[in-house]
Amino acid sequence: PTVFDVQRIRADFPLLARTVYGKPLVYLDNANTSQKPASVIETVSEHYRQHNANVARAVHQLGDEATAAYEGARDKLARFINATSRNELILTSGTTQATNMVAYSYVLPRLQPGDAVLTTVMEHHANIVPWQLVAQRAGATVKAAPINERGELIVEKFIEMLTPEVKLACVTHVSNVLGTVNPIRELARECRKRGIPLMVDGSQAVPHRPVDVQALGCDFYAMTGHKMLGPTGTGALWARREHLQAMPPFFGGGEMIREVRFDGTTFAEAPHKFEAGTPNIAGFVGLGAAIDYYQSIGFEAIHAWEQQLLSYATERLRDIPGLRIIGEAAEKEPVISFLLEGAQATDLATLLDLEGVAVRSGHHCAHPLMQFYGVPATLRASLAFYNTREEIDAFVTALLKVRKLLL
Ligand code: PMP
């Protein structure tokens, strides 16, 4: 058995000690946003207390310190996902900004009427709607590769759908609703053979597993900081250098230019070409601390513990009569969507909240996936490495209690 000192880890997360309605908090909404360790909170606070200045604009000491800390976070992120260069990392407000940047700067200029973007049925709206917006402008379409009842991508169908009109394929690394892990290496290999770039939505993968963008073989990788222990409003787009060189900027403004003239402006090189305006400096400095925190524990230990929790929670839920788990892929990260016969997901979530248990109910920004399963909503318990078996017990006890109130 893995030795994992979860109590010591929990002590690093101040919020986990609080109560809700007088009950100890059981936070199982980690796929929505993670809690933050004290090191992240203190790093952000220390930045504002001691180093606050704008980046890359001032010659004074504070400006240098802020710039070093902000660019240091880019270095950490680049190493964290094994980018070949720090210049391949665009710092964004999150995955949503990253997918929109790719949609407008990469996809739109390449779309002709009749072209397509290929995605899958299990995507988050952030990986559907941007493609629809640009496809509409160009007279192109968005196609979705199907999944099976277990919530796994049907890889052969995906491959069949990689036809010459497809100008970009984009797939989530891990489903935010089902926890399914997609076989990105294989998909990337197939895309590459056909000269179709592959974008990966890494929002739900990066918090749980080591990501190596070179080994994955994709072209673009998007991530969001607030789900990986970092502050809200942080995230990144990694892209191969040749793509970044070929892409026009998405936002225009300060700090992304070489020279501005009314008869023609020239742009800075990537990544700065894509980072107009003052960024979320303190947020990224905090995200750097989040990466340090992951590395101090290590993904091997995190993965082993989370998989134990996932199996335990799945087993306990399967014992509940009338409970249906949605998404039973062979390889999953610790996300469990489920329905309980005779009770609405939102009613259950509201009553669970009164017991101190935070779960999400709803469509999870994945309408097409809900349509596939023919349900309006699910309840979702999503775990992090700071969760415990005792919390899962408390969650199951609360679920059985609130269910009685609804039947
Ligand atoms: N993709 C997936 C798979 C997600 O889970 C989320 C967040 N729920 C997003 C994209 C969007 O991330 P953000 O809102 O941080 O931009």
Residue 382 CB less than 6 A away from ligand 1 = no
Residue 204 CB less than 6 A away from ligand 1 = yes
Mutate to test the pocket of ligand 1, among 95, 128, 182, 221 (most ligand atoms within 8 A of CB): 95
3.90.550.10, 3.65.10.10, 3.40.50.2030, 3.90.1150.10: which CATH number matches 6-30+298-406?
3.90.1150.10
Residue 332 gets which letter from DSSP? B
Sequence-distant (6+) residues with CB within 8 A of 371 are none
| E strand map for 28-112 | 89-92
Distance CA 128, CA 364 (A): 13
- Any idea where the domains of the chain sit in the sequence? 6-30+298-406, 41-295
Q: What is the pLDDT of residue 176?
A: 98
Please give the number of the atom of ligand 1 that sits closest to the Cα of 126: 10
The pLDDT tens digits of the residues spanning 269-310 come to 999 999 999 999 999 999 999 999 999 999 999 999 999 999
pLDDT at 15 over 90: yes
pLDDT at 1 over 50: no
pTM of the model: 0.97
pLDDT at 139 over 60: yes
CA of 33 from ligand 1 middle (Å) equals 9
CATH fold label, 41-295 = Aspartate Aminotransferase; domain 2 (3.40.640)
Distance CA 407, CA 167 (A): 50
pLDDT at 179 over 70: yes
Find the distance separating the first CA and the last CA of the chain, reported in whole Å.
Answer: 39
Percent of the chain with pLDDT over 70: 100
Residue 134, number of CB atoms within 10 A of its CB: 24
Residue 124 CB less than 6 A away from ligand 1 = yes
Residue 31, number of CB atoms within 10 A of its CB: 27
Distance CA 224, CA 98 (A): 9
The pLDDT tens digits of the residues spanning 45-88 come to 999 999 999 998 778 999 999 999 999 999 999 999 999 999 99
Please give the number of the atom of ligand 1 that sits closest to the Cα of 95: 16
Catalytic residues: 365
Q: What is the mean pLDDT of residues 139-159?
A: 98
Distance CA 335, CA 176 (A): 7
CA of 176 from ligand 1 middle (Å) equals 8
pLDDT at 311 over 60: yes
**Which ipTM score applies to this complex?**
0.97
Q: What is the pLDDT of residue 2?
A: 52
Percent of the chain with pLDDT over 90: 93
**Mean model confidence pLDDT for the chain:** 96
Residue 126 CB less than 6 A away from ligand 1 = yes
Residue 224 CB less than 6 A away from ligand 1 = yes
Distance CA 158, CA 302 (A): 31
